[in-house]
Structure formats: C-alpha cells, structure tokens
C-alpha cells in the first residue's frame, strides 16, 4: 500500500509537466515491434501473424503511409536490437508471450516515445508507474484472447484431473500400465472449482465449466451483478482464505501487480486442501516458484498447470520444468491463430486512431494522461 501511494504521489507531482501528447505528433513515425520468431513455421500459415517474420500483418500498411517499422525478437541486454532503436522510436509494440521488459531506464532513454502498445492482454512487463510519470500512453487489445485463455484453462483442468499426461507418455513410450494412470484420475463433475478473479477470462471459464456440473466459486474485488451470477451458477466468496480450502481446483485469473506479486506463497498454498489442482495462465510471478515446486513434490498440490513463468523465457533449470504432475507449456494460451488475428487487428485499429488523433476504446487504456487503470493501482 505504501509503495502504491508513493507511486501515485510521484505521478500526481509530475502531471503538470507531462509533455508527451496522448495522440501522435505530426510527421512520419518510427514504430518498433518485438515478437517471437516464427522460424521454419512462419510461412506455413498465412494467418500466423504474431511472429517477427509476419509482423502482425501491418508492415505494408505502415510503410505505405511513410512510417518506419522495425521488428525484432532481440530484446535483452545492452547490445540487443531493441536498444539500438529505443532512443528514436515513437511507438513500441510488445507482447506478453515474448515480453520486452520496458523498464524505467528504457522509458527514460526513449525520448521520442509516445505510445506503448501490448499485442495481447497484460502489460505488467512495462514499468507502468514510470510510463505514467513520463506521460506515455499504454494500451492493450482488451478482450483479444480471452476466449483463447479460458479454453486453455479448461483444457489444463481436464488434463490434470484425468491424469492424462502419464497415460500419453505410456502411449508414446510403448508402456501399458493402467494402474499407473487410474490411481489418481478423477471426474470433473461434482468437484469444487474456484477462480481467483472473475474478469473477462474468469467469467468465460465459469461459463464453460457450468455444463460439467461443478460447484463453482469465485473471489474478486468486485462482485458480479446478481443476474450474471445466477446465469453462471457461481457463488461469490468475499474472503479468499475462506474459499481456498473448499476448492478441488483453483484457477488464477488476476493481473500481476505489486499487491499480487508472490501472493501465492508457502503459507497461502498451505491453506488449500491436500491434493488441490492449480491452473495459472495469469502470470508466473503471482506464485512463489519454489513453494509451488515443493508442494508438488510433497503431494499437497496434486497437479499444477499453466503457461506463464517468471522470468520468460524460462531458464532450463527452472524448477517447474521438472516438478512432478505438471502440465506446463511455454506461454502459448493467448497466441492461438484466432487470438493473433484479433490482437493484430486491435493493434492496427489503435495505430490508425493514434495517427488520426482519435481516442482508443476506453477499456484498452492501461495508462492514460498519467493515470493507471484501476486493476493496476
């Protein structure tokens, strides 16, 4: 709380001196995009627009209007490609899937920066208080991959609940040991599933879980309206610590902030029932990395699945790679082909509005006129 208040005081103190416009300054712009490499797969699907090679499908459009568009995957270290362009870039497009960490130092050196766009959802790789204090606009493509992530969460719940991965490993290794799978395979029907966070993704997950006949719970700082709550068939739990012991499955659906960083530590995990399944497609840093690995090893966590790590890309020695009963993947849930097309279209729409001096859709703003969106405060 003290850190948040201090940040707000700094932002308020700087507001009168903000000089960077909410809209584009006149003339040609230098736009830098940081995405993951497509490599040999870049040419296999024309809709695979989220990679470096296909650059969100907006290169021709930008260059036809006289703008410069630099795209790279090289984002780390003092001599990386991003560092060569940050000083004179007007717009920086980044992504949660291959995050270019936009520190206060990078913001300070980006003297021409006006706009930071996230191709996708989740802008915690940007030092948001520093962006606010510098007068930058930060926006993301709200809603672009909510369906993608909610579907992925449901998949991981089922994979872990049914003990699918050991069975698959048997199939590809020539083994046949039914007991090795069946001794910890369960039906989802009748289980209690709780989501920590009931925003866009959390609501979509609850909708998809309802036909499975689960007991659905949710915790959020804001209660959904009564009609939607009834439609979802989910009960509100005001006290997170009271909800956790009730759940057979806990799904994380909150943003990474100073308040939520490391929130699920050893003590919080101990409040969950023994044999809990946890699915985290939110952010890896919400969890205490070693506490999760230890709880998986002891069996207190029966299964942990997700696609988010800290840091990203995850180093080879990251303990989540090797802990038992994990359903981990690289950060892929929100970058399906359908998700890519939606967030590419959203980025193009915001760039077009930026060039014309028009406002963005209000839900897209993460930082506007020196103020952070409520979920990051």
Residue 377 among the catalytic residues? no
CA distances from 131 to 2, 117, 168, 367 (A): 19, 12, 46, 7
C-alpha 280/C-alpha 257 separation (Å) is 15
C-alpha 352/C-alpha 171 separation (Å) is 50
Smallest Cα–Cα separation from 35: which of 73, 75, 84, 91? 73
* Cβ–Cβ under 8 Å, residues 365 and 373: yes
C-alpha 150/C-alpha 51 separation (Å) is 22
* Cβ–Cβ under 8 Å, residues 231 and 204: no
List, as residue ranges, the binding site for substrate.
121, 145
Out of 90, 125, 156, 283, the active site residue is 283
First to last CA, the chain: 10
Residue 312 among the catalytic residues? yes
Smallest Cα–Cα separation from 55: which of 76, 40, 34, 74? 34
List, as residue ranges, the binding site.
121, 145-146, 200-201, 220, 255-259, 281, 307, 331-334
> Could you tell me the strand order of the sheet in which 30-34 lies?
68-72, 30-34, 91-94, 115-118, 137-140, 365-368, 371-372
Smallest Cα–Cα separation from 200: which of 302, 281, 90? 281
Residue 283 among the catalytic residues? yes
Out of 67, 85, 331, 342, the active site residue is 331
C-alpha 164/C-alpha 158 separation (Å) is 8
Residue 145 among the catalytic residues? yes
Out of 54, 153, 253, 312, the active site residue is 312
Q: Specify the pairing of strand 365-368 against strand 371-372.
A: antiparallel
Out of 85, 106, 145, 163, the active site residue is 145
Q: What residues act catalytically?
A: 145, 283, 312, 331
């Amino acid at each position: 709380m003290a850190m948040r208040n201090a940040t707000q005081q700094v932002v308020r103190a700087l507001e009168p001196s903000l000089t960077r416009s909410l809209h584009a300054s006149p003339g040609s712009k230098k736009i830098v995009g940081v995405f993951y490499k497509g490599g040999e797969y870049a040419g296999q699907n024309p809709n695979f627009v989220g990679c470096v090679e296909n650059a969100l499908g907006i290169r021709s459009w930008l260059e036809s209007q006289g703008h410069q568009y630099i795209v790279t995957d090289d984002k780390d270290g003092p001599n990386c490609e991003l560092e060569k362009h940050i000083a004179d870039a007007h717009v920086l497009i980044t992504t949660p899937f291959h995050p270019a960490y936009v520190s206060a130092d990078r913001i300070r050196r980006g003297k021409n920066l006006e706009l930071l766009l996230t191709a996708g959802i989740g802008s915690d790789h940007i030092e948001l208080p520093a962006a606010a204090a510098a007068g930058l606009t930060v926006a993301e493509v709200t809603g672009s991959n909510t369906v993608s992530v909610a579907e992925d969460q449901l998949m991981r719940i089922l994979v872990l609940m049914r003990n699918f991965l050991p069975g698959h490993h048997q199939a590809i290794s020539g083994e046949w040991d039914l007991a090795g799978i069946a001794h910890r395979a369960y039906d989802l029907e009748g289980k209690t599933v709780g989501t920590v966070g009931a925003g866009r993704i959390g609501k979509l997950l609850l909708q998809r879980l309802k036909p499975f006949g689960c007991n659905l719970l949710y915790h959020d700082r804001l209660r959904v309206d009564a009609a939607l709550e009834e439609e979802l068939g989910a009960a509100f739990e005001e006290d997170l610590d009271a909800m956790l012991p009730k759940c057979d499955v806990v799904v994380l659906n909150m943003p990474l902030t100073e308040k939520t960083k490391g929130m699920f530590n050893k003590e919080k995990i101990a409040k969950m029932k023994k044999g809990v399944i946890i699915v985290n497609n939110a952010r890896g840093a919400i969890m205490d990395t070693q506490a999760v690995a230890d709880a998986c090893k002891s069996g207190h966590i029966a299964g942990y699945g997700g696609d988010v790590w800290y840091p990203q890309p995850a180093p080879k020695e990251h303990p989540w790679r090797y802990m038992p009963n994990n359903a981990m993947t690289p950060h892929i849930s929100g970058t399906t082909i359908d998700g890519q097309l939606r967030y590419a279209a959203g980025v193009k729409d915001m760039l077009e509005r930026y060039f014309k001096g028009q406002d963005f859709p209000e839900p897209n703003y993460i930082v506007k006129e020196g103020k952070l969106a409520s979920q990051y405060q």
